[in-house]
Structure 1
Amino acid sequence: MLFSQLLLYPGVATLVATLGADAATSSFAETPLDASMWFLVAEFTGYVTFVGLWGIASDAAGRRTPFIVAGALLGAVGYAALAAVPSVGSLSFEGVLVLRFVQGAMTIGAFSLTMTMLMDLRGGHGKNMGAAGIAIGLGAALGAPIGGQLTAVDPVAPLLVAAGLLVAVGGLVTQVDDRAPTDRRTARAVIEGVRRRPTLSIPYAFGFVDRMTAGFFALVGTLYFQEAFGLDAGATGLLLACFFAPFALLQYPMGILSDRIGRTIPIVVGSICYGVGIVAVGAAPSVPLAAAAMVGVGVLGALVSPATMALVTDLAAEGERGVAMGGFNFAGSLGFLAGFLVGGGVADAHGYDLAFLVVGGLEIAIAVVAVPAFLTISVADSNRRPAKQRGDG
């Protein structure tokens, strides 16, 4: 899923122009940055609108597989329709954005519910979410550089490859055991169950800010690297991979670490260091130093990500995992939107330096603000454990 998504990012400006959706065709996209931003925003608007509905439907039905297959295949149709736009030649920028919205609305169902399938597995939650993180991170790490190379061949090639991959996902997932809790519930009961767990707002808040930084790098970071260092799409993809490679490869061991030491240190301390790393990327004066900073940010992201997703699993009831993870991905999708809009807006108005400072500062701020909430969760967990486990007897 993430491989398909990231294929488009390194050459997004070229792709948007090829689709005929450049700044000249719209009253609200005045620059290439604007047109690229709205193209990415449209997909995540689809994510935000539909991710909760996919989770509610899955929990109410007690099934994951049929919904994942439907989301993957309909998402493939969306990608293929976008690839056909240059041949049609008469679709406006607004029409392209509608197609992008529909593609995102379908794709998020497959993405969120495959993560929920990992929540359904036994074992340490950090370990299972570390496995999710490896999949997400490897997909992103490979998608960015390969997408850059595909763009050099043909700007619409990433769309066609994405469509083919989603068809493959739809077929392969039918071979995986569906371990969803089989008790059928009404959609209202599922929603009310999640509402009774306000502590889920903590991982949701971190998911929002963490994904905001990812959205920021996907759009603003990509254009910054190209403008500041004169990189083409292929080289930009490789620089993005400096983040995604360690981010992917370290998620599983970092998830196991969070099972052993708890969620607080990886999430809170890791987020503070992660924010500092983002600022360091924007301050790097050369490509080698920027690449080194991206590696550091990737390592820190690997520390934070599986612990945050595992906290969702820790807090969610068994029959509400689909909608709980849907809520997490809702917050994350809003974060991506904020990364595009806030990062793009600040960069447009005040330059890239301030944009890196704002986004990195927000990552630090959420960690500092959340410290009391984490202490409350830790005390509650300690009180729920038997005395012998707490070391009291």
Structure 2
Amino acid sequence: MTSRSDRTRLALIVWGVLVSQVFLYPGLEDTVAALGGGDEILAGTWFLVAEFGAFVGCAVVWGLASDALGRRTPLVVLGAIGGAASYVAVALVPQVGLGFGAVLLLRVVGGAFTIGAFSLSITMLMDLSGGHGRNMGAAGTAIGLGAALGSVVGGQFATIDPLAPLYGGAVILVGAAVLAATIPDRSPGDGRPVGTLAERVRTRPTLLVPFAFGYIDRLTAGFFALTGVAYFRDTFGLDAAQAGLTLALFFVPFAVLQYPAGSLSDRIGRFLPVVIGSLCYGVMIIAVGLAPTAALAAGLMVVVGVCGAFVSPTTMALVTDIVPASERGAAMGGFNVFGSLGMLSGFLVGGIIADLYGYLPAFLAAGGLEISIAVLASRAVRRIGPQRYDSTLGVVER
């Protein structure tokens, strides 16, 4: 199979994992209530935190294992199947008479599996030729389109049955597992001990730059997934389906522009997309919170998506720029640890600030953090790039 074919199939797997995850967001309040968690925003917060806590604990483990084994495909299949099983188990909890604590435990188990499928499918994209920005742009497009479709269809599912998003997510993950089984491994892993791989990644402090951006970027995603949805529903009176469509106004341009933005960064370097993109992204997040009408807020969500599209793939490409091929699994696992911590922070920061002080302070906090990381890390990003990338030879000029 060609790299282009593999890139498409791997992007579909990343897309599937995100679809299954975002199915739950628009109707989260209804789903959590049906599972016995009540209808308060903090119950939804813990429902999401349980899964992302497992992401944090397990992302690097999957990456180290794939680098040490020199295999990624069977681990992606295992992660997707395990995630699908957990979704079905969560949906069955009310029928067997267990409480919300069992739901949270199953969410932890499911997160431990799902992060393997997600992180390693992106790592497999890193293993392909054709340009780091282009490959990470494919991953970013898949993430954005998955989130866009998941937010729209998940909202529709939730209006039919609050547990339908769980069953839909399970079906998508099974499909991702079947597709993953058809993709050959291109891992360059040479069977080094896990401890050696972990030590080599720890000796690359430059990785903290994309890790920090990944943390803040995912924080804003977690913020919109929970607090953003609640904001649109409470402030403008939208139902779950309408809130899902509003989220899609962000995710569609975010998805469509990531592949060209990643390819552009291979030519002009990472600095402008990462730093200037982050500054604009933060400003637009605050603007959404200041919007006086639903129509204006929805229009600003499109602009937020455009800005985010330049940041996401370029940040992931920085990881690939820094580490050699044999350490990509561990490095991307580390990136996803910081990203998952960011999602957790987004749920908690957004939910707690909105609960205590209101929605505008929550938007100011999320947007302000994005602006801050762009300012504080701009010099470090410039030291990593700019660079010119040749699709055959790799990085040929720095």
**Deviation (angstroms), 1:285:** 1.1
Q: Distance in 2 between matches of 1:211 and 1:150?
A: 25
Q: Distance in 2 between matches of 1:118 and 1:376?
A: 25
Query: Where do 1:1-393 residues align within 5 Å?
Result: 1-22=17-38, 32-88=40-96, 90-378=97-385
Letter in 2 for 1:270: G
- Answer yes or no: is the 8 Å Cα contact 2:93–2:102 preserved in 1: no
- Answer yes or no: is the 8 Å Cα contact 2:93–2:99 preserved in 1: no
Partner of 1:26: none
Q: Distance in 1 between matches of 2:397 and 2:345?
A: 42
Letter in 2 for 1:84: L
Instruction: Give 3-state SS (helix, strand or coil) of 1:175's partner.
Output: coil
- Answer yes or no: is the 8 Å Cα contact 2:273–2:311 preserved in 1: yes
- Answer yes or no: is the 8 Å Cα contact 1:270–1:301 preserved in 2: yes
Instruction: Give 3-state SS (helix, strand or coil) of 1:8's partner.
Output: coil
Instruction: Give 3-state SS (helix, strand or coil) of 1:166's partner.
Output: helix
Q: Distance in 1 between matches of 2:239 and 2:270?
A: 39
**Deviation (angstroms), 1:374:** 2.0
Partner of 1:28: none
- Answer yes or no: is the 8 Å Cα contact 1:251–1:302 preserved in 2: yes
**Deviation (angstroms), 1:91:** 1.5
Q: Distance in 2 between matches of 1:116 and 1:235?
A: 34
Q: Distance in 1 between matches of 2:397 and 2:330?
A: 31
**Deviation (angstroms), 1:122:** 0.7
Q: Distance in 2 between matches of 1:296 and 1:375?
A: 25
The alignment covers a number of residue pairs equal to: 375
Q: Distance in 2 between matches of 1:16 and 1:213?
A: 22
Q: Distance in 2 between matches of 1:376 and 1:389?
A: 13
Q: Distance in 1 between matches of 2:57 and 2:101?
A: 18
What TM-score does the superposition give when structure 1 sets the normalisation length? 0.93
**Deviation (angstroms), 1:195:** 1.2
Q: Distance in 2 between matches of 1:258 and 1:374?
A: 13
Letter in 2 for 1:74: G
Q: Which segments of structure 1 move beyond 3 Å, counting only runs of 4 or more?
A: none
Cα RMSD of the aligned pairs, angstroms, is 1.3
**Deviation (angstroms), 1:376:** 2.8
Q: 1:3 to 1:104 in 2, by over 3 A?
A: same
- Answer yes or no: is the 8 Å Cα contact 2:32–2:44 preserved in 1: yes
Q: Deviations over 1:156-212 (max 9, x none)?
A: 111001111111111111111211114111101110111121100000000000000
Q: Deviations over 1:270-296 (max 9, x none)?
A: 000000000011111111111110000
**Deviation (angstroms), 1:68:** 0.5
- Answer yes or no: is the 8 Å Cα contact 1:48–1:330 preserved in 2: yes
Structure 1 unpaired stretches of 5+ = 24-31, 383-387
Structure 2 unpaired stretches of 5+ = 1-16, 389-395
- Answer yes or no: is the 8 Å Cα contact 1:75–1:163 preserved in 2: yes
Letter in 2 for 1:5: Q
Q: 1:389 to 1:210 in 2, by over 3 A?
A: closer
- Answer yes or no: is the 8 Å Cα contact 2:151–2:247 preserved in 1: yes
What TM-score does the superposition give when structure 2 sets the normalisation length? 0.92
Partner of 1:29: none
Structure with higher Rg: it is 1
Instruction: Give 3-state SS (helix, strand or coil) of 1:21's partner.
Output: coil
Q: Distance in 2 between matches of 1:33 and 1:67?
A: 35
- Answer yes or no: is the 8 Å Cα contact 1:22–1:93 preserved in 2: no
Q: Distance in 2 between matches of 1:121 and 1:94?
A: 42
Q: Distance in 2 between matches of 1:249 and 1:235?
A: 21
Give the share of equivalent positions with the same residue, in percent: 59
Letter in 2 for 1:377: I
Letter in 1 for 2:23: L
Letter in 2 for 1:301: G
- Answer yes or no: is the 8 Å Cα contact 1:119–1:313 preserved in 2: yes
- Answer yes or no: is the 8 Å Cα contact 2:52–2:343 preserved in 1: yes
**Deviation (angstroms), 1:389:** 5.8
Letter in 2 for 1:40: L
Instruction: Give 3-state SS (helix, strand or coil) of 2:181's partner.
Output: helix
Q: Distance in 1 between matches of 2:135 and 2:77?
A: 22
